[in-house]
Amino acid sequence: MHAVGGHRLDYLAVCVAAENLTGAMAGAALIAYLSDLCSPAYTATQYALLSSLAAVGRTLMASTAGILAERLGWAPFFLLTTIVTLPALALLLWIARSGPIEAAYSARAARG
């Protein structure tokens, strides 16, 4: 918002609150999804591997984000990061429609 709206403390508060809320919701959803993927016999090992794998992209990309933001400017940088996120959102929709969670719900419903 600063790149477009100037120095506004209320914009900053809204952005920080929205980021914290959506980050917490995404974190809870990720934990639930990874937990559902794990086999009860190997839960600790599989969860550790899956959660580590989930952090790889964030770790690798965070180191280049500052350079990219400096070269592009803040507004184009945030637009680019929004566009880059769209394939991941499409993948989430695909997983929700045909992934293991829906299969598990179907199996539970069939059992009664």
Residue 31 included in any domain: no
> What pLDDT was estimated at residue 64?
85
Q: Provide mean pLDDT across the span 33-62.
A: 84
Evaluate whether residue 77 is within a structural domain: yes
In-domain check, residue 38: no
- Domain span holding position 82: 73-112
Q: Which amino acid makes up residue 94? A: W
**Size (the chain), residues:** 112
The reported pLDDT for the residue numbered 77 is: 92
Any residues with CB less than 8 A from the CB of 11 and at least 6 apart, and which? 1, 2, 5
Q: Mean of the per-residue pLDDT values for the chain?
A: 82
The dihedral formed by the CA atoms of 42, 44, 50 and 52, expressed in degrees to the nearest 10: -150
Nearest Cα neighbor of 34 from 81, 109, 95 is 95
User: Is residue 25 a part of any domain in this protein?
Assistant: no
For residue 108, tell me if it sits in a domain. Answer: yes
Residue 35 lies in a domain: no
Confidence band of 79 (pLDDT split at 50, 70, 90): very high
Q: Report the pLDDT averaged over residues 22-37.
A: 86
Query: Residue 104 domain-assigned?
Result: yes
| Any domain includes 84 | yes
- Structural domain tally of the chain? 1
Task: Provide φ and ψ at 55, rounded to 5°.
Answer: -85, -10
In the predicted model, what is the mean pLDDT of residues 22-40? 86
